[in-house]
Chain A
Amino acid sequence: MDTTQLLKGVLDLAVLAVVAERDGYGYDVVRRLRAAGLEDVGDASVYGTLRRLYAGGLLTSYVVPSEEGPHRKYYAVNDAGRAQLGASTGTWRSFTDAMDKLLGTEGEEAA
């Protein structure tokens, strides 16, 4: 199954979760998503998602100057983002429960 199709639906949730865990700049978020096992996640998709969540008021941003390389724009989850993360997590849990039942396998407990 093509994971990019699945990713489209849950990338908002994944990005919110990663940023809620720890503030991050664009490429840092890409790396952490890939490290968490979402290897197929597209750089442009993460960038676009971050910008959309930011424009939608779920993230705040601040710039951290760096000695070598460009200044980095860090993103942080605000209250609205946290509320969204909570709601989406609930939706995701019930969805995976339903899929697990449908597929007849015992769902592993998500980390």
Chain B
Amino acid sequence: MNDTIDADVARYATAVRAAFADLPGPERELLLEDLEDHLQEVAAEGDGPLSERLGAPEAYAAELRASAGLPAPGARPTRPRRRLGQSRVARRLRGLWAAALAHPAGGAIVGFLPELRPAWWVARGYLAVQAASVALSFLFAGDGLRFPIPELFGSQVLGLLAVAAAVAGSVALGRRTVAGGRRARGLLVAGNTALALFAVLLLTDLGASRAAAEGGWDQAQYFEVYPGSDRTMGLRSDGREISNIYAFDQQGRPLRDVYLVDQYGQPVVTSHLDDPDVEPRLPVDAAGNAVLNRYPQAQDRVDPASGRRTPTTAPTFRPPPGPVRTP
């Protein structure tokens, strides 16, 4: 008899615990550590299985959860999502906007803004064609930005016609009061914002190409950043790259074919990330594998223009006056 009660309690407790699987372990244990003992008391009190006397374990778990002040399972304890318009930033902006409108100068400027609308409609049409032209040149490897007349499919005539059509369309769209509800308005606002951003990019790019044409930064523009030259990779000493290593004996005579390993016995391998024009001629072992840690390496400096190779020269070294002792 006791066995069946124990089995019933264990089964019921397991089902209840399963409903708390989403809780972190310590929290769950704090809540449920007495569950079995408690259910044992209930079971000892009367007859019939626990599920008849206490209801389904899932319902029991839900009631327990609610009375313990825990969120329903699956209800993540995240902050409720707020609409963008209700965010603190949005409220701040609305407050600033109201303050600007309240100021006489601000009011005058805002009052003047609607008169600028037609100018924006014209600019919008032009920008749309420029944006399309740049997008198409990405797709079809065209010339990219052409100023002032955009190029469509390699033709500036086509571009000019497109600008005329787009400006007409944009003005027509602007004169019409936009119906069609929030969705259509939202799309329009998004489109306008995108084109305004594109205008900023366009002006920036024009400024850059002007500066480049004046010899300003075309050096910088064509400077090739070698991958890995972030000054953390490769073999370095105080951040300065070590591309070759020369060893000398006590008399200052250069040693040849020295194998170098670090404190772990791993080969010490120099790198050429900051100076990619230096190419080592690595020795090869009997198995045909390159030997990376035999020094000094034979290296060539390769002229990137002509491809001509000149061997790098060894540094000079004068040993300190002897005898040199280790304390």
**Which residues of A approach B to under 8 Å, CB–CB?**
8, 11, 25-28, 42-49, 51-52, 55, 69-73
Contacts and interface: CB of A to CB of B under 8 A. Distances in A.
Interface string B32-67: 001111101110110000000010000011011111
Contacts of A48: 31, 63-69
Contact of B36 (A28, A49, A70, A72): A70
B64 A45 contact: yes
Nearest to B31: A51
B54 A43 contact: yes
19 contacts: A8-B67, A26-B37, A26-B41, A42-B63, A43-B54, A44-B60, A44-B63, A44-B64, A47-B35, A47-B64, A48-B31, A48-B68, A48-B69, A49-B67, A52-B67, A55-B30, A69-B41, A70-B36, A70-B40
B58 to A, nearest CB: 11
Contacts of B65: 48
A51 B30 contact: yes
A48 B66 CA distance: 8
Nearest to A7: B67
Interface of B: 30-31, 34-38, 40-42, 44-45, 54, 60-61, 63-69
Q: Which of A43, A49, A72 has the most CB of B within 10 A?
A: A43
B57 to A, nearest CB: 10
Interface of A is mostly: helix
Nearest to B9: A70
A39 to B, nearest CB: 14
Contacts of B34: 26, 47, 51, 73
Contacts of B30: 51, 55
A44 B35 CA distance: 10
B38 A26 contact: yes
Contacts of A52: 67-69
Contacts of B41: 25-28, 69-70, 72
Given A26-B34, A51-B30, A45 B40 contact: no
A11 B61 CA distance: 17
Nearest to B34: A73
A8 B65 CA distance: 13
Top 8 A-B pairs, shortest CB-CB distance: A48-B67, A27-B41, A48-B68, A44-B63, A44-B64, A45-B67, A70-B37, A48-B64
